[in-house]
Every structure is written in structure tokens, then in C-alpha cells.
Chains A and B, each alone.
Chain A
């Protein structure tokens, strides 16, 4: 198929439309991506007419310098905690919900629609709904805590904020994962379950020995999507706890605060420094996704 031959009279039309499409992708997507690497070696600033200096590895040195490393280690740790917790909870729960909603139950379509709903509502609406539910002055969560003779500041509590953000992220992101698992489940031949039934398998055994092995490709797809998404996500955290909350500071938000202010009181670095953080994040995402892909592929064959 690599050999190209002429089908439509003049080749030039195909090449021209292709070139127009690619030009837009290059200008607005690929050049900025490569540009991140380049400007991470400069001290470029958010004002357009200041001179730009080449500073070599200075931004990366700053990232690992004693002044910044404490903050950056926290952001790194938060990023990993967030990404792994979201990936694991979202996938396990999504798988269970998918198995549940794959049964012949009345109202299962309604339940599927309900689980997918947050995808449509969008981050700001979700953020506000949960701010309301976890309203520290008066809300259902506070009443629940009160029933146990306790109280909490919820998103304002540094030890609880990250957990809550993870819960909200899982709540809102699970719909897509459920639908992917459902598609995978429907592709499993029902005869396999009949055979398992004849062999006297319990539903737990059926889940372990029929469903999960055959769903392995869907698990791989879901886990990878989730890990890459979660390592880079920040919209929901931004809405729920703001850009500068140390308890929920992740790398993506660090890029935003370093590059565009919002870093309250702190010294705002150049955007070159923010670009350096982008590159650090990029390398982390690349390593983690390659490792997970290798691991998941091997698991698939083991199962």
C-alpha cells in the first residue's frame, strides 16, 4: 500500500488539501510542542517586547535547585499520587460497574446514561456541584461528618483536599471507562459463560477466569488513556482548589502558575522556566506510559 498511484486526475489537489490541513496542525500544534523544548533554554517572558536571552540549562537547574526543589517534589509527588489513585480506582470501579450494567436489568440504560452524564456537564459545573456538596459551612457532607461528631474544611483541609479531588475526578471520569468496558464485555461470546455455568463456576470465578482475561485489551486501553490523562490533567483541580493550593499542586498546574502568575506572593519565574517544567512532565509521561504499556502487554499474554 505504500506505493502511491494516481486515482484522481491531478495529484496536486490531494497534496494541496493535505498541505493546508497539515500546515494548520504544524503551526498551532506541532511547532508549539517543539517550541517548548527550545524556549525551555531561554528566559522568555509573557510580555512580547522584552529581549529573549539564551540561558542554556539554567531553567532546569532552577527546577532542581534548593530553592525550588521542595515545591517541585511536592508537585511531583501530588502528580503521581493523583495519577495512580485515579487510574486504579477509576479502572476497578469502572470494570465492576460495567459488569453490573452488562446484566439484563431493567433501567440499566438509564444507569449507563447517569454514569456518563459528568462527561457532558463539564469541569466547571462539576466543580461547583462538588464545592456545594462539600461546602464546609453547611452541606450534606458536613452533616454526614457531623453525624459522627466531626467536622472538616473539606477542600480547604490540606490532608483531605487531594483525596476529595481524586474522588471527584473518578466520579466524573468513570463514564468513558465504563462505556469502553461495556463495549469489550459485549464482544465476549455468551457461550463462554454457558460453558462456565455447566462447569459450575461461581460468578466470582467467571469474572476472574472468563471476563477479565478476555477484557485484557480493553484494560490496557483504559489504563493507558487514564494514566496519560491523569498525569497531565488539571482542569478539575484548578476549578476545585485553585491554581496555588500546595495540597493539590500538580505539575500541570505548576506550569500554569509559573508561566502565567497566580503564584501568590512567590517569585514568578520566566515562561522559559514553565516550559522546562513542561519538558520534565513530558519525559515523565513518556517513561510512565511506555513502562505501563510494556507491563500491560505482558499481562495480556499471561492472562
Chain B
């Protein structure tokens, strides 16, 4: 979080004349008493509402996934009475989700890793001026955030390079959409003194060893931000996958689940079970990585 440029420093406030001799207590909110109390209650109510708006859809999904078709038709919103695990088994069997999930995880991890390594390979030398015209390259990195929609040319490229319907074509295209990565890395490097480069070089470290082993340890936060931002993009993609894959065996889970929806349009309980199968691993991962993920995304988004 050390790279947060929005830490706005107030240049001047109209309240500078007011004495601030009060001891800076640990809880500044507890200055007033009475109005703060109602405010607190209102805040709790509002927070409860926010949580409800975000968790109700999930609860409803799980609830529906557990119902039999007839129970759902009789009472779509009521709490499940007779839980059916069978929905999950059927959805699992017919949806082929294990293989789609594996594809998605593979594409996401490989493309985001590759993208992050590329960002490092191009961001570091530009930030340090180890290549010519660093300013121009930085400008290009910024311009890369505002590219036109390239669906058509990416498809043509994949077709002509014989990468159409291959996992590697998809991965290379996804990885090359580095987004804010190089800018993030270059920005973060301002806080790592050049002297460290020089010291490492004096100690006999080569450029490659320095770039791929020393520097990453110094900039783990920003590298993970770059990784996660790109990973979210790959994980969520459905359009490029639709365009670049014709064989089902390569589909990511976004496409697999969407196709499942097309096949079982009105079998709501089965659809819910399928959605739950895809969501469950994400929820588990999120449970453990939540703080980390949130922090990383902000670090990147603010820079972008």
C-alpha cells in the first residue's frame, strides 16, 4: 500500500485558525455523544442492508440448488425443506465442470504469471533507464491502456499464426494484455533506490539473476497486484474465449457454465447447482485470500 498516490495532502483548510489543543484520543468519533448514538444505529442498519443485498443472492442460489424441481415450482422462494444433493451430482456429471475449471485455473495462472513477468521485463529497464528513450516507452505503456477493441484482429492473428483453437494462442493473447502492469512496476521502482542495483552489480550479480530473483523479492506487493488484476481479467473473460475456441475441450468455465445455461434453460434447480459448483471453490479461496486480494486490487486500480 505504499504506492498510494491518492493520499491527498490538504494544502490549505479554512479551519487552520481553530486551536487543536485537544489530546488526540484514539477514538476521534466519540467527541459528540447523543447525535452519534443515533448515527451509529442508522449506520448499523445501513450496513445490515448492504450485507443483505450482497449475500441474499448467494443464499437464494444455494437454497434453490438444494431444492427438487417440484419443490421449486411449488414454492420458489421458501426455505428448502427436503435438500437434494442429487442436483449437484447431476450438474457435475452433465456439465463437465471439472475439466472447465481446470482449464480456467490453468489459463488464469499461466496467463497472469506470464503477463506479470512480461511487465517486469519491460517495466524494470524502462524505469531504470537501462534502455534508450525511457520516456517514450513510458508514454507507450500509458497509451496501451487506451487501445481499441481488438476482437477482430486478435481473431485474424490467431487464425493466421495457426493459434486458433489452441490453449497457447489464448494464453499468449491474454498474457499480452498487460494493462497497468508495466506502469505499476515502473512506479513502484521509484521507491527502490538505484544504489541497490549498483551494489548487486558490484557483488557480481548478472542482470538476469537480479531481475528475476532479487528485484521480485523487493516488490512483491506490486507484482501481486499486477498478477491479480490480470488474473481477474482472464478469469472473467467469456467473449475472447468464445471467439478463439471452437472445441469444447479448451473452454474455460465461464463458457462452460454459459453453455450449460443454454442447454438447461428452464431447469432452475440444476442451473443453480451448476452455478454453485463453479462459485464454491471461488468462495473458499476468497475466504482465505480476501484481505490480500482487496488490497492488491486497490493498489493497481488507483494507479491505473
Contact = CB atoms under 8 A, between A and B. Distances in A.
A124 to B, nearest CB: 4
Nearest to B122: A21
Given A32-B154, A35-B156, A36-B150, 20 more contacts: A1-B129, A7-B201, A15-B125, A15-B131, A17-B125, A17-B211, A21-B121, A28-B172, A28-B173, A100-B46, A100-B47, A104-B27, A111-B50, A113-B286, A113-B294, A120-B286, A128-B271, A139-B77, A260-B243, A278-B152
A286 B125 contact: no
Nearest to B16: A195
A36 B152 contact: yes
A105 B43 contact: yes
A138 B121 CA distance: 53
A35 B149 CA distance: 11
A140 B43 CA distance: 26
Interface residues of B, number: 118
Contacts of A29: 144, 147, 150, 173, 176-178
A163 interface: no
A97 B51 CA distance: 11
B275 A138 contact: no
A22 to B, nearest CB: 6
Interface of A: 1-5, 7-11, 13-15, 17-18, 20-22, 24-25, 27-33, 35-37, 39, 44, 46, 48, 97, 100-101, 103-105, 107-108, 110-125, 127-133, 135, 137-140, 143, 171, 176, 179-180, 182-184, 187-199, 203, 214-218, 221, 225, 228, 232, 234-235, 238-239, 252, 255-256, 259-260, 271, 274-275, 278-279, 281-282, 285-286, 289
A133 B60 contact: yes
Contact of B176 (A27, A112, A121, A289): A27
Interface string B1-24: 100111110100101001010101
B257 A132 contact: no
Contacts, number: 339
A21 B175 CA distance: 11
